[in-house]
């Protein structure tokens, strides 16, 4: 884009986002689209974030951005007030006073191809990608390879223990790290991944016959019952870490399509900030 050309507007950026991630692809319960910002306002710099929290808002203001594009909705559930005496109200007021627009691409970006899980799959070098969970026939998102999660082949087989260490190395670092469930020596060739909370797709991973499934927010009872039914091995990473890779793709899209300067937030917004591993078995004192 020429330096003499007028910068794109909020409406221009929104149009490009909605061309790639149509709001109609979002789940019925989701809240996506433009949350704050004048459509005619110019946009020279955008910050891409997973979560709209005080820390990422401060990062945006320090960087002098005109717009935030976030994955998780700030106002997912109905509210009756955005007074500055409330947590989310303070965020809304700060953004409005600073003339910073806010746009959300959530489950419509999850289901897109390429989308959130394609970026996650790329961290593992997966090939032959296909959706883990396809949209229902007749739904707006159905077709063209779209769907929640991705299934692919690892470049080289790994044991579950090796894959867990590899996942911790290739995903953004968090205190949570990566934990796994299953036989540590199990060979993994086919891997399913799903960015964000994915225990609703355990049955899909089993039906697909994959060797392992990596996602976030796995719960005790569903995971235990899944393994007891001979389902694939499980890898559980931090929610933020499984969705942060998509921000690089999002930033590249906006940079190429609109010419705006795009920044990516690496502030880990995972709420878990401390992790302590138990001592190794050999280091424990023998019991009497």
DSSP structural state of residue 115: S
SS3 9: strand
- 197 bridge partner residues: 216
Written as one string, the DSSP assignment of 131-156 is: EEEPPPTTSTT-STT--EEEEEEEEE
CB under 8 Å to 190, separation ≥6 — which residues?
A: 151, 152, 153, 154, 208, 209, 210, 211, 212
Burial class (CB in 10 A: 0-12, 13-18, 19+), 76: middle
In angstroms, the CA 143 to CA 130 distance is 11
φ/ψ of 207, rounded to 5, equals -65, -30
- Is residue 243 annotated as involved in ligand binding? yes
- Nearest residue to 68 (alpha-carbon basis) of 26, 128, 30, 13: 13
Is the N-terminal amide bond of 36 cis, ω within 30° of 0? no
- Is residue 221 annotated as involved in ligand binding? no
In angstroms, the CA 198 to CA 205 distance is 10
CB 240 within 8 A of CB 272: no
Question: How many of the other CB atoms lie within 10 Å of CB of 213?
Answer: 32
- Is residue 71 annotated as involved in ligand binding? yes
In angstroms, the CA 250 to CA 12 distance is 15
Binding-site entries for a divalent metal cation? 71-72, 110, 239, 243
Binding-site entries? 71-72, 110, 239, 243
């Amino acid at each position: 884009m020429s330096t003499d050309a007028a910068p794109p507007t909020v409406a221009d950026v929104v149009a490009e986002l909605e061309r790639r991630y149509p709001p109609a692809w979002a789940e019925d319960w989701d809240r996506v689209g433009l949350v704050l910002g004048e459509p005619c306002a110019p946009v020279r710099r955008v910050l891409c974030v997973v979560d709209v929290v005080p820390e990422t808002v401060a990062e945006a203001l320090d960087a002098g951005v005109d717009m935030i594009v976030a994955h998780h909705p700030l106002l997912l559930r109905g509210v009756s007030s955005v007074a500055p005496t409330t947590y989310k109200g303070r965020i809304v007021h700060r953004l409005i006073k600073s003339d910073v627009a806010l746009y959300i691409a959530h489950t419509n970006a999850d289901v897109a191809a390429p989308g959130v899980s394609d970026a996650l799959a790329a961290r593992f070098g997966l090939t032959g990608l296909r959706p883990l969970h396809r949209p229902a026939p007749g739904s707006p998102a159905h077709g063209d390879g779209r769907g929640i999660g991705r299934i692919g082949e690892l470049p080289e087989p790994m044991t579950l223990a090796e894959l867990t260490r590899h996942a911790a190395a290739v995903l953004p670092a968090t205190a949570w790290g990566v934990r796994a469930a299953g036989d540590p020596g199990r060979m993994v060739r086919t891997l399913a991944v799903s960015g964000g909370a994915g225990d609703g797709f355990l049955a899909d991973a089993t039906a697909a016959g994959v060797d392992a499934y990596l996602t976030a927010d796995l719960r005790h009872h569903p995971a235990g019952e899944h393994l007891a039914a001979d389902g694939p091995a499980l890898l559980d990473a931090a929610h933020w870490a499984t969705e942060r890779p998509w921000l690089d793709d999002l930033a590249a899209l906006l940079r190429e399509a609109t010419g705006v300067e795009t920044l990516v937030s690496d502030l880990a917004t995972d709420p878990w900030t401390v992790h302590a591993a138990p001592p190794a078995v050999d280091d424990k004192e023998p019991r009497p």
